[in-house]
C-alpha cells in the first residue's frame, strides 16, 4: 500500500513544495501554499499502474496526408459560433471564464436550449445551483420547454456514471470546475489537486466518447481563471466572458482555440430576457457622439476577422500638481506614456503641465497598437481645443522615432467605416492597396508631426466669423 505523505501546493500556480513557506518560490505570491495529502505523491496512482506494463510501439506517419475538418455542432447563436470558430467541436473540452454574475450561466443555458431544440442530447450539470434555480433562469430566458437534461452534482465519478447511461450526450456543461471533487484525491474541492484531477477526468471522457465538454471556471481578482494554469493547457479552447458592470454589453473573447482563430470576439447585449446578439458592434461602441466636441477620435480597429469602430476620448487639462495625473480606461497606460513622450520629443507638444485622461467609449478595451494614431489625434485635439472632423476615422502605429507605421487589414477597416457613413480617413502611408471609397482621398502622414500640423492648422484656417 502506498505510503501517505504531505505536500504543500501553491493554489495560484500549482507548484509543489516539500515544506510550508509564506511565499511561493515559483510565482512569488504570498499565503498560497495549502497542505494536501497524497498517496505516494502527485499522480502516483495512474503512473504506478502504467509503469507495470511494457509500452507498445505506435505507428509513425508524415505531415502530408488527407485532412478532415473537425466535426462541429453549431448552436445557432451566431456570436457564440463565431467565438468558438464555427461551433462546438465533438470530443473537445472548452473552458469558459468570467467575473461572477457576468452572464456565463445565462449564455450556456441559452446555448444548451438552442442545441436541445435541434435534437442533440444536452446535459447541464451544476455544482453551484439547485435544479430549481436553473429552472427559474430557463423560464426567464424562455428556454424552459427545451429538452435539456439537468443535474445538481459535484462528484466526478457520479457525473460520469450518469452521463454514460443511455445515448451518448453531444454536449456536457459543467458549472463549475472548481466545485467538482473526485475520490482519487483527498484534498478539498477547489484546490489545485482536485481541479486538475476533475478536469483531467472530464477531458478523458470527452476524448474517448466524442462528446463535447464545456467547463465553467471562476476568475481571480486579477481577472485570470482561478486554479492552476495547467487547466488552460489541458483544454482545447479558452473563452473569457468580459464586461463592465455599468454597461449592458458583454464580450466573449477567444484566448486559445486549437480548432479556430484565437483573436475572435462575440458581442452580446444583456437584457431582462437574457443575452441578445449584437450583429454590428461598431454602432454599439460609437453610441451617441457629439460632433463638435474636441478630444474625440474614431478608431477603426480589428478583432480577429471583424472590424470594430470605437470612439477614443481624451481630456487634457491644466494641472496644479507637481506630477500631473495620467489616467487610462480601456487602453494600455504604458502605451499612453510612450505616445506622450513621442509627441513632446518629436512634435513639440508639451504635456508636462497638464493632466491627461484617456477613455475608450462604451467600456471597450483596445489591445492592438494600431490605435496609436487615433489616441494622438484625440490628445492634440483636446490640448488645442479643436474638434476633429466628425466623419473621419484614424488608425496607424507610431514608432519611437515619430514615424507612422502601416498596419494590417486597412481595406477591411475602411469598408466598415464607409458602411457606417464616414467620409474620410487618416492612415499610414504604405498601407496595403486601397481601392476606391474613402481610402482614395485619405490623408496618409509619414510622420506624426504631419498629423499634428494638420490638426493645429485648422485654427489658422478659421475666419473671425467662425469663432
Query: pLDDT of 230-265, one tens digit each?
Result: 788 899 999 998 886 667 888 899 999 999 888 888
Q: How many CA atoms lie less than 13 Å away from 106 in the CB half-sphere?
A: 21
Fold of 283-458: Ribosomal Protein S5; domain 2 (3.30.230)
> Helix 131-141 to helix 104-117 angle, to the nearest 10 degrees?
70
Share of the chain above pLDDT 90, in %: 53
Mean per-residue pLDDT for 168-196?
A: 88
Is 102 known to sit in a ligand binding site? yes
| Residue 3 pLDDT class (50, 70, 90 cuts) | low
Given this model, what pLDDT does residue 41 score? 43
Given this model, what pLDDT does residue 202 score? 95
Q: Where are the domains of the chain?
A: 1-36, 72-279, 283-458
Is 207 known to sit in a ligand binding site? no
Sequence-ordered alpha helix ranges (H) in 1-130: 44-51, 78-84, 104-117
Mean per-residue pLDDT for 278-282?
A: 84
Is 236 known to sit in a ligand binding site? no
Is 101 known to sit in a ligand binding site? yes
Fold of 72-279: Rossmann fold (3.40.50)
> Helix 448-460 to helix 372-384 angle, to the nearest 10 degrees?
30
Least confident of 279-293, 299-313, 317-331: 279-293
Mean per-residue pLDDT for 172-194?
A: 87
Q: Does residue 124 carry a pLDDT above 90?
A: yes
What's the mean per-residue pLDDT of the chain?
A: 86
Cα separation, 149 vs 275, in Å, equals 21
Is 265 known to sit in a ligand binding site? no
Is 81 known to sit in a ligand binding site? no
332 vs 69: which has the higher pLDDT? 332
| Residue 442 pLDDT class (50, 70, 90 cuts) | confident
Residue range 377-413, pLDDT digits in tens: 999 999 999 999 989 999 999 999 999 999 999 989 9
Given this model, what pLDDT does residue 375 score? 97
Cα Dmax for the chain: 95
- The C-alpha cell at 442 is 485619405
Given this model, what pLDDT does residue 49 score? 44
State pTM to two decimals.
Answer: 0.77
Asked whether the beta carbons of 83 and 264 are under 8 A apart, the reply is yes
355 vs 93, 427, 451, CA distance in Å? 47, 28, 22
| Residue 369 pLDDT class (50, 70, 90 cuts) | very high
Amino acid at each position: 500500500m502506498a505510503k501517505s505523505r504531505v505536500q504543500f501546493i501553491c493554489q495560484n500556480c500549482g507548484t509543489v513544495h516539500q515544506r510550508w513557506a509564506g511565499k511561493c518560490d515559483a510565482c512569488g505570491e504570498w499565503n498560497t501554499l495549502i497542505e494536501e495529502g497524497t498517496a505516494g505523491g502527485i499522480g502516483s496512482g495512474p503512473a504506478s499502474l502504467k509503469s507495470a506494463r511494457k509500452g507498445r510501439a505506435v505507428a509513425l506517419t508524415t505531415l502530408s496526408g488527407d485532412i478532415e475538418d473537425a466535426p462541429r455542432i453549431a448552436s445557432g447563436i451566431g456570436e457564440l459560433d463565431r467565438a468558438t470558430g464555427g461551433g462546438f467541436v465533438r470530443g473537445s473540452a472548452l473552458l469558459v471564464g468570467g467575473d461572477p454574475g457576468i452572464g456565463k450561466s445565462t449564455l450556456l443555458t441559452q446555448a444548451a436550449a438552442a442545441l436541445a431544440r435541434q435534437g442533440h442530447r444536452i446535459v447541464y450539470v451544476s455544482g453551484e445551483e439547485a435544479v430549481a434555480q436553473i429552472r427559474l433562469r430557463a423560464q426567464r430566458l424562455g428556454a424552459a420547454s427545451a429538452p435539456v437534461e439537468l443535474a445538481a452534482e459535484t462528484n466526478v465519478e457520479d457525473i460520469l456514471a450518469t452521463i454514460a447511461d443511455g445515448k451518448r450526450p453531444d454536449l456536457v456543461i459543467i458549472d463549475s470546475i472548481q466545485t467538482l471533487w473526485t475520490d482519487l484525491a483527498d484534498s478539498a474541492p477547489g484546490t489545485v489537486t482536485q481541479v486538475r484531477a476533475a478536469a483531467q477526468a472530464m477531458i478523458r471522457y470527452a476524448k474517448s466518447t466524442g462528446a463535447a465538454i464545456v467547463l465553467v471556471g471562476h476568475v481571480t481578482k486579477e481577472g485570470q481563471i482561478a486554479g492552476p494554469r495547467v487547466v488552460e493547457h489541458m483544454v482545447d479552447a479558452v473563452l473569457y466572458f468580459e464586461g463592465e458592470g455599468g454597461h449592458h454589453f458583454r464580450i466573449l473573447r477567444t484566448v486559445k482555440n486549437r480548432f479556430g482563430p484565437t483573436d475572435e470576439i462575440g458581442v452580446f447585449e444583456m437584457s431582462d430576457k437574457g443575452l441578445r446578439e449584437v450583429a454590428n458592434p461598431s454602432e454599439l461602441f460609437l453610441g451617441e457622439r457629439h460632433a463638435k466636441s474636441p478630444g474625440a477620435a474614431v478608431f477603426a480597429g480589428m478583432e480577429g476577422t471583424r472590424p470594430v469602430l470605437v470612439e477614443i476620448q481624451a481630456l487634457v487639462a491644466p494641472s496644479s500638481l507637481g506630477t500631473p495625473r495620467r489616467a487610462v480606461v480601456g487602453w494600455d497606460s504604458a502605451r499612453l506614456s510612450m505616445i506622450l513622450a513621442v509627441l513632446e520629443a518629436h512634435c513639440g507638444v508639451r504635456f508636462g503641465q497638464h493632466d491627461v485622461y484617456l477613455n475608450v467609449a462604451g467600456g471597450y478595451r483596445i489591445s492592438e497598437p494600431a490605435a496609436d494614431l487615433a489616441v494622438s489625434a484625440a490628445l492634440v485635439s483636446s490640448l488645442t481645443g479643436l474638434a476633429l472632423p466628425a466623419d473621419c476615422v484614424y488608425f496607424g502605429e507610431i514608432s519611437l522615432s515619430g514615424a507612422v507605421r502601416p498596419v494590417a487589414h486597412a481595406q477591411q477597416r475602411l469598408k466598415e467605416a464607409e458602411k457606417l457613413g464616414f467620409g474620410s480617413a487618416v492612415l499610414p502611408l504604405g498601407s496595403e492597396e486601397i481601392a476606391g471609397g474613402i481610402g482614395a482621398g485619405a490623408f496618409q502622414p509619414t510622420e506624426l508631426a504631419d498629423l499634428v500640423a494638420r490638426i493645429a492648422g485648422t485654427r489658422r484656417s478659421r475666419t473671425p466669423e467662425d469663432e
